[in-house]
Amino acid sequence: MSKYWNNRTKNIIPYVPGEQPKDRKFIKLNTNENPYPPSPKVIEAVKNAANADLRLYPDPDCTMFREAAALRYGVKPEQVFAGNGSDEILAFAFGAFFESTAADGTGEKEILFPDITYSFYPVYADLWGIPFRKIPLLDDFSIKGADYRIPCGGVIFPNPNAPTGKPVPLADILSLAGYLAEQDRVLIVDEAYAAFGTETAVPYITKHPNLLVVHTLSKWAGLAGLRFGFAVGSEELIEGLCRIKDSFNSYTVDRLALAGAAAAIEDSAYYDGINKKVMQTRDRTSDELRSLGFNVIPSAANFLFVKAPNTDGFVFFTVLREKGILTRHFNKERISDYLRVSIGTDEEMDIFLEECRKISNK
């Protein structure tokens, strides 16, 4: 621990990203990347942008993307915010809409999120000094919307949830948004995986001006390496995000990412096709694993949450890694025997399934 760190740096526990192998070649099923390449239109747009004048700053308002997203989702450009990946947008949202203990003065208005969820949420809360409370999932790993209908400083959760993949009924989300509006609190729905079988809450942002819906292009658009995310919400919420962004860095999205993201949002036909393939592979893999005696949580995402029969979770992870297959293991209470397995190509999942057959036969 450095003597030069301030107390914030000393006390935070940073997020640990999934392994990105550098030397050995793996079948990479650990970070939920799309197994298929991005649209050819995206590649062309990025090439064209690279041939433009890169000596100039990019558009700080991301107008090209905001207009394209507004057209696709039936909202106004002023209701769209663009950022350097959804993680950046989530970090901005914590700073914009949730009170820190110091600012609140009492510490009683804790924000709420599930006890099993995206592990960046407590990191953001600690970074901004925001008090929080974890709401336990049900025994089947479901989020129960009614459990969040209590006085609080705001609510955030993914839909579908991560790492479980279980979706939250849209009716529960809208009911909770209505309840939180009575307290002047914000509901953030992190829809990183919604394109793989979950109904989006975006059409309801006008009726619920306290509802912020966050998306990423890393999963459905196959653009994890481009770093681009966006949020849709009321103009009031979007302005709040802009105020935080412009107090940090006005140019968070570069020209190449902006061009590629706009092309991706416009090519829904291509992405509907590849993501349908991902969902078909997911369902086939899930059925096969269950037939082998594995416990598989029903998923509406591009990954599965899987428990091997009579096998410790870390052992399951280690055996697969030794065979050249990377998955994600979380050494946490209630889920330490599960692995999160990203959906790869059919060929990759067949190799994964073959190793699972060997495990089930031991």
Domains of the chain: 8-37+269-361 (3.90.1150.10), 40-266 (3.40.640.10)
Considering Cα of 64, then 69, then 74, then 78, what sign does the dihedral take? negative
Beta bridge partners of 341: 304
Burial readout 7-41 (b: 16 or more C-beta within 10 A, e: otherwise): eeeeeeeeeeeeeeeeeeebbbbbbbbbbbebbee
Q: What is the pLDDT of residues 278-295, one digit of tens each?
A: 999 999 999 999 999 999
Reading the block at residue 43, the tokens are 């590649």
Answer whether 252's CB lies under 8 Å from 84's CB. Answer: yes
Q: Which stretches of the chain score pLDDT less than 50? A: 104
Q: What is the pLDDT of residues 235-260, one digit of tens each?
A: 999 999 999 999 999 999 999 999 99
> Exposed, middle or buried: residue 118 (CB in 10 Å: 0-12, 13-18, 19+)?
buried
Q: What is the pLDDT of residues 203-232, one digit of tens each?
A: 999 999 999 999 999 999 999 999 999 999
Map tokens 């953030």 to a residue.
188
Reading the block at residue 286, the tokens are 């899930």
**13-21: which pairs have CB atoms within 8 A and are 24 or more residues apart?**
13/122, 13/123, 13/126, 14/123, 15/119, 15/120, 15/123, 16/119, 18/326, 18/328, 19/326, 21/326
Calculate helix-pair angle for 313-322, 346-361, nearest 10 degrees. Answer: 120
> Which residues are CB-neighbours of 59 under 8 A, at least 6 positions away?
258
CB count within 10 Å of CB 331 equals 9
Q: Alpha carbon 113 to chain centroid distance?
A: 14
Reading the block at residue 349, the tokens are 């999942």
Q: Please give the pLDDT value at position 362.
A: 67
Give residue 89's identity as a one-letter amino acid code.
I
CA distance 195 to 301: 8
CA distance 108 to 110: 6
Q: Please give the pLDDT value at position 1.
A: 75
Angle at 254 between CA 248 and CA 256, to 5 degrees: 165
Three-state DSSP string of 210-227 = CEEEEEECCCCCCCCCCC
69: phi then psi, degrees, rounded to nearest 5: -65, -40
